[in-house]
Amino acid sequence: MLKSLTVWNFALLEHVQIEFDAGLNILTGETGAGKSILIDALGAILGHRISTDAIRTGCDWLRVEAVFTLDGQPALQELLQSQAIDVSEDVLIVTRQVARAGRNMVLVNGCHVTLAVLKQIGMLLVDIHGQNQNLALLKEASQYDLLDRENPSIGQALAAYRKAYAAWTERKQAYAKKEMDAREYAQRVDMLRWQNQEIEDAQLKEGEDEALEEEIRKLSHAEKIADYVKESYDLLDSDARNSLAVLSALSQIKKNLEDMSRFDASLANAQKIVDEAFVSLQEAAYEIRDYGEAMDFSPQRLDQLQRRMDTIDKLCKKYGATLADVLAYQQKVQAELASIENYDDDMERLKASIREAEQEVRTCAERLTALRRQGAAILTEEIAGQLKSLGMPHAAFAIEIAAAGQFGPRGADLVQMTFSANEGEAPKPLAKVASGGELSRIALAIKAVSASRDRSVPSMVFDEIDTGIGGRTAQMVAERIALVAKYKQVLCITHLPQIASMADVHLYIAKHAQEGHTVTEVIRLTEAQEVNEIARMASGSDVSAASLDNAREMLSHARSRKQHLR
């Protein structure tokens, strides 16, 4: 619910702060005072586009801030959480600033968001209803949405149908693609078989390239390796250089320490270390000697390995960066070949799955149609009743369900609103027969019926929905708006005293000159001020005692009617 709206430098609004309550919030004032500007400012908070032309003359920026309470709105809270916006305090503060220099800002609870996200949030906060929204009734999508929101069971059936429809469509597309691919199979299969055979002939083994590289590296440096081995062994266990080798020297040290230990055991630990070192180095010498004796550096072997590596490199250039990629590609080729060779079987399986999916779609569509027919009957009766209460006693209204003849994203139904304003005339599609005033009342009737069902948007705005009506019809419209306010917070701009008298909160928008500028202010009326404003709206600028008495009577009657409605 909207708690407050604060506006800076928006057209005629220099600085205005408005507190709203639950129920019916009425905004009145002279023509041009800035009532619609307030709605435009609220629209900015909901993500509507705002031009820099809206910035007050002489100012560099405009800013609008709104405070909402979050009253059990799971869809809104889920959206906010997906944007990492904190809602732990169940309060939403939305700020939007537009600058002439083009530096715009949107904040939601202190978090920067895009205009697109703000628009998503706004759709779950407030429903603004004006002349354009009346025209939206004529759109096919709006008529489907009205019916499908009538009952949660319809929404659930529609979700089940869409899931089945998507599966059916996906299988049909897979069948069509496979059928189209079949035209290319003849050429494709020859190429795949050739590629598979080329890889098959190479008899590749996983990890073979790494082993080959290691052996090639070893054979390519055979001479150096032999020199390193001989020199290392000579240093360990040979006196070919007319000097003691390491093991010979270590053997002499070992003997000296053993002889000394007979006279002094102080170097027993050193003797132990020398003994262990001697054994370890002797083992190393044997291993180096054996490696040298086993060395076989065949040039023929190196040539063979390099040819094998060339074969692998050639395949890698064609089918993948590594040997593993080549083998993976071969598996893919073999899978595609198997698929092509099993084409007929696959097509039969796909046909069977399509028939199965189509039956599921049909079952879901039939359930959806049945629920829609029930919902349409209920809505038709209730909306027709509201139209009679809105001064259209002979109106005939219906939501008709016809067979579409095929499955579509919304089901197998054609949903259409029909209307006739006069007795004896056959109802026709709404777009062909309803006038602007009739559309306005039909829209209000629908809002009055759907307000108790639709929990998604807690606040509604009626922007001069009373255009072109008066007298008894105006009273009826006032009562319908009050009925909507039983379920929703309603903000309503009006020029009619009958509607204004239904207010739970009455806000007066006044315009006056101040230091060479035009300034708009918003005043929350007291009971006495409200009487004066109702009298002004009913009789014009000349407020007399009789008009004041009439205003008091209107307010008293309005209180009685609200009590009856609620």
Phi, psi of 493 (to 5 degrees): -90, 130
Contact partners, residue 204, CB within 8 Å, separation at least 6: 312, 315, 323, 326, 327
Specify the pLDDT at position 248.
80
Q: What band does 133 get if pLDDT is binned at 50, 70 and 90? A: low
Specify the pLDDT at position 219.
75
- CA-CA distance, 138 to 440, in Å (whole number)? 12
Nearest by Cα to 65 from 21, 17, 111, 112: 17
Q: In terms of pLDDT, which residue wins out, 242 or 461?
A: 461
Tens of pLDDT, residue by residue over 362-408, are: 999 999 999 999 999 999 998 888 888 887 888 888 999 999 889 99
Whether the pLDDT of residue 242 is over 50: the answer is no
470: left (phi over 0), alpha (psi -120 to 50) or beta: beta
Mean pLDDT for 7-30 is 89
Whether the pLDDT of residue 240 is over 50: the answer is no
Q: What percent of the chain has pLDDT over 90?
A: 23
Whether the pLDDT of residue 180 is over 50: the answer is yes
Per DSSP bridges, beta strands 505-514 and 428-429 are unpaired
Per DSSP bridges, beta strands 505-514 and 24-29 are parallel
pTM metric for this prediction: 0.63
- Would you say the C-alpha torsion 75, 446, 119, 21 has a positive or negative sign? negative
**Domain boundary assignment for the chain:** 1-125+457-566, 187-341
Q: In terms of pLDDT, which residue wins out, 272 or 220?
A: 272
Specify the pLDDT at position 209.
78
* Annotation: CATH topology of 1-125+457-566: Rossmann fold (3.40.50)
Tens of pLDDT, residue by residue over 185-214, are: 666 777 887 888 888 888 888 888 788 887
Whether the pLDDT of residue 132 is over 70: the answer is no
Mean pLDDT for 471-495 is 85
**Among 127-136, 250-259, 351-360, 530-539, whose mean pLDDT is lowest?**
127-136
184: left (phi over 0), alpha (psi -120 to 50) or beta: alpha
Nearest by Cα to 563 from 23, 110, 19: 23
Nearest by Cα to 258 from 249, 248, 268, 250: 268
